[in-house]
């Protein structure tokens, strides 16, 4: 593994960005928290404080929900035509496009993400989501029902109401637009609770939404902590739906809070421990590249990361050798530098959690063949790590580590691969690498997971519904399924001429 801290003098200037928005965004205004309290957001490259952010709690969530309720019950947003909402969403997208660099900087100093990936993927991906759902906003319609007994009916697709969005820190921009774009297109109003580690870009988006013409009260952003702000949103009697992305443990709490309050529907996009199965006929170099991306992209902080790697026995040794070589060549360091492959983990807690799992892996008897150590003299950097001799029941094969740790395992037959891949409480995604179409078809249908990538990985698109099976949750983001969850169906029935009702 190579280390880059900028001392190589490659001439790259870290962009300087002023942090403009640090207050809560409620009813179209940036305001202090009712309590006057603030919290720190830190730069994972150094651990230093970047900004102090107004800390939303129950009283602030109450105000934000009140604004969203008023905007839903009496405001123009749910009542305007889908075409008009779509035009405003396109304007919002235009504004995001104008600030790509600035927004990418915010996500890098908040989450430690690669700046270049933010610039070419995360922020443009948010724009793509906005435009996808802007195009859908005027195509929301129900069905005509041909009933028996001289009755006729139709269904109306109506916005579900006030939505509470609770999101994690690993993709601050993507998670924001996964939630907000379809809910806005549907005509909902909303309160977004960004993760406490990464509030900066969400507040910037709130400002751009106002500039685009989204009416006050429609989109509120309240940063704060989970047990206070998040819990208040999940249990609020005036919130009609909660759309949550985060860990399985917190997803359970959110569902319970929803059940114990007003029985609001929830959608839960939760954790994962995804398998990638590499068959003997695969090109080893291609498979190693694909697996490297599956494990190490975004320093392993991806719910859909493919970290349980099953390699068929015929190519196992060659695969291990090349995977170790690739891990050793990886450049870890400051995520602003264009040639860096891996930045720091998001914060101290996450960094310590990953190192703890590396320790557990060693104690459980797996063999550490690459990485395994922290690096750099400040910040939260960890070497790309590979374990071999991993057994299915080890913690490093079962628990979501959310860091750059690969667990390598060997298998003999297709049946064994399917059995091993399904031996998990999660079911978010899976990867298959083979040129054999029969194997690809059999395995893709046998794995219980919400997304299967064949000879590719992380092939996301606004048109591809994404969400889990099993403990990875339920409800989809993206695609038309991602719009459907912000709509509810009303059936309207009327007698027709000559019916017994006359
Ligand atoms: P987390 O569950 O700790 O936090 C997620 C959000 O929930 C944060 O905003 C947090 O403040 C809030 N929260 C915490 N306690 C709460 C409570 N009691 N009530 C309401 N809200 C509460 O998750 P994280 O550490 O931020 O993110 C990592 C997790 O997210 C991983 O498990 C990852 O797999 C998952 N994730 C899933 C997807 C997906 O699409 N399936 C995408 C990204 C991340």
pLDDT at 19 over 90: yes
For strands 385-388 and 405-411, give the pairing: parallel
Q: Say whether 303 is catalytic.
A: yes
- Answer with the residue of higher pLDDT: 120 or 7: 120
Taking the centre of ligand 1 as the mean of its atom positions, its distance from the CA of residue 110, in whole angstroms, is 16
Q: Which of 269, 301, 383, 400 is catalytic?
A: 269
pLDDT bracket for residue 5 (50, 70, 90):
low
For strands 331-333 and 367-370, give the pairing: unpaired
| pLDDT digit string, tens, across residues 379-438 | 999 999 999 999 999 999 999 999 999 999 999 999 999 999 999 999 999 999 999 999
182 lines ligand 1 (CB under 6 A): no
Taking the centre of ligand 1 as the mean of its atom positions, its distance from the CA of residue 396, in whole angstroms, is 20
253 lines ligand 1 (CB under 6 A): yes
23 lines ligand 1 (CB under 6 A): no
Q: For a substitution probing ligand 1, which of 110, 226, 264 has the most ligand atoms within 8 Å of its CB?
A: 226
Instruction: Report the percent of the chain where pLDDT is more than 70.
Output: 98
| pLDDT digit string, tens, across residues 226-251 | 999 999 999 999 999 999 999 999 99
Whose C-alpha lies nearest to ligand 1, atom 28? 246
| pLDDT digit string, tens, across residues 51-100 | 999 999 999 999 999 999 999 999 999 999 999 999 999 999 999 999 99
Are the CB atoms for 43 and 347 separated by under 8 Å?
A: no
236 lines ligand 1 (CB under 6 A): no
| pLDDT digit string, tens, across residues 369-391 | 999 999 999 999 999 999 999 99
State residue 138's pLDDT score. 98
pLDDT at 10 over 70: no
107 lines ligand 1 (CB under 6 A): no
167 lines ligand 1 (CB under 6 A): yes
Contacts of residue 233, Cβ cutoff 8 Å, sequence gap at least 6: 61, 65, 164, 166, 191, 193, 222, 239, 242
Q: Which of 4, 55, 196, 303 is catalytic?
A: 303
pLDDT at 126 over 90: yes
pLDDT at 6 over 80: no
State residue 17's pLDDT score. 84
pLDDT at 497 over 80: no
Ligand 1 atom nearest residue 253's Cα = 18
Whose C-alpha lies nearest to ligand 1, atom 15? 226
Helix axes 82-98, 100-111, angle to 10 degrees: 70
449 lines ligand 1 (CB under 6 A): no
Taking the centre of ligand 1 as the mean of its atom positions, its distance from the CA of residue 467, in whole angstroms, is 14
pLDDT bracket for residue 502 (50, 70, 90):
low
Q: Say whether 364 is catalytic.
A: no
Question: Which contacts (CB < 8 Å, 24+ apart) does range 449-457 have?
Answer: 449/274, 450/476, 451/304, 453/429, 455/290, 456/290, 456/431, 457/276, 457/290, 457/291, 457/293, 457/294, 457/306, 457/431
Residue 454: Cβ-neighbour burial (10 angstroms; 0-12, 13-18, 19+): middle
| pLDDT digit string, tens, across residues 250-283 | 999 999 999 999 999 999 999 999 999 999 999 9
Residue 401 to residues 50, 216, 272, 274, 275, Cα–Cα distance (Å): 26, 40, 9, 11, 14
Contacts of residue 247, Cβ cutoff 8 Å, sequence gap at least 6: 168, 270, 271, 400
Residue 331 to residues 240, 378, 384, Cα–Cα distance (Å): 46, 16, 9
pLDDT at 156 over 60: yes
| pLDDT digit string, tens, across residues 183-192 | 999 999 999 9
Ligand 1 atom nearest residue 428's Cα = 41
CA distance 58 to 224: 10
State residue 385's pLDDT score. 98
272 lines ligand 1 (CB under 6 A): yes
Residue 412 to residues 59, 277, 415, 465, Cα–Cα distance (Å): 58, 11, 9, 32
170 lines ligand 1 (CB under 6 A): yes
């Amino acid at each position: 593994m190579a280390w880059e801290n900028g001392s190589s003098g490659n001439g790259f200037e870290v962009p300087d960005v002023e942090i403009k928005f640090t207050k809560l965004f409620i009813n179209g205004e940036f305001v202090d928290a009712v309590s006057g309290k603030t919290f720190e957001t830190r730069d994972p490259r150094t651990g230093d404080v970047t900004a102090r952010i107004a800390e939303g709690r129950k009283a602030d969530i109450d105000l934000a929900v009140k604004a969203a309720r008023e905007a839903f019950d009496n405001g123009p947003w749910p009542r305007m035509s889908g075409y008009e909402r779509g035009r405003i969403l396109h304007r919002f997208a235009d504004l995001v496009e104008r600030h790509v660099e600035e927004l990418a900087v915010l996500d890098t100093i908040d989450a430690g993400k690669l700046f270049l990936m933010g610039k070419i993927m995360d922020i443009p991906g948010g724009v793509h989501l906005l435009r996808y759902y802007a195009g859908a906003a005027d195509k929301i319609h129900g069905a005509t029902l041909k009933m028996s007994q001289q009755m006729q009916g139709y269904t109306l697709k109506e916005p579900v109401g006030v939505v509470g969005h609770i999101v994690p820190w690993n993709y601050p921009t993507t998670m924001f637009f996964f939630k907000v774009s379809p809910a806005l297109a549907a005509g909902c109003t909303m309160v977004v609770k960004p993760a406490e580690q990464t509030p900066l870009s969400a507040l910037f988006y709130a400002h751009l939404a106002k500039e685009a013409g989204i009416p006050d009260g429609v989109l509120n952003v309240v940063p704060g902590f989970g047990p206070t702000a998040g819990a208040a949103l999940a249990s609020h009697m005036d919130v009609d739906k909660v759309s949550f992305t985060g860990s399985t443990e917190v997803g359970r709490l959110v569902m319970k809070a929803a059940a114990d309050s007003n029985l609001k529907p929830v959608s839960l996009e939760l954790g994962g421990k995804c398998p990638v199965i590499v068959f003997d006929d695969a090109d080893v170099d291609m498979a190693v590249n694909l697996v490297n991306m599956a494990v190490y992209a975004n320093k392993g902080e991806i719910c859909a990361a493919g970290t349980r790697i099953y390699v068929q026995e015929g190519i196992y040794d060659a695969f291990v050798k090349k995977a170790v070589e690739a891990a050793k060549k990886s450049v870890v360091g400051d995520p602003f530098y264009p040639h860096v492959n891996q930045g720091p983990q998001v914060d101290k807690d996450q960094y310590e959690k990953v190192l703890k799992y590396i320790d557990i892996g060693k104690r459980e008897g797996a063999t550490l063949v690459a990485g395994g150590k922290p690096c750099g003299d400040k910040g939260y950097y960890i070497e790309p790590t590979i374990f071999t001799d991993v057994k299915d029941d080890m913690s490093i094969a079962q628990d979501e580590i959310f860091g750059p740790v690969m667990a390598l395992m060997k298998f003999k037959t297709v049946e064994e691969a399917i059995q091993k891949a399904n031996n998990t409480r999660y079911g978010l995604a899976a990867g298959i690498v083979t040129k054999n179409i029969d194997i690809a078809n059999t395995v893709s249908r046998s794995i219980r997971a919400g997304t299967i990538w064949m000879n590719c990985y992380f092939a996301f698109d606004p048109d591809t519904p994404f969400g889990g099976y099993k403990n990875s949750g339920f409800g989809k983001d993206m695609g038309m399924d991602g719009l459907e969850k912000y709509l509810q169906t009303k059936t309207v029935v009327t007698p027709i001429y000559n019916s017994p009702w006359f």
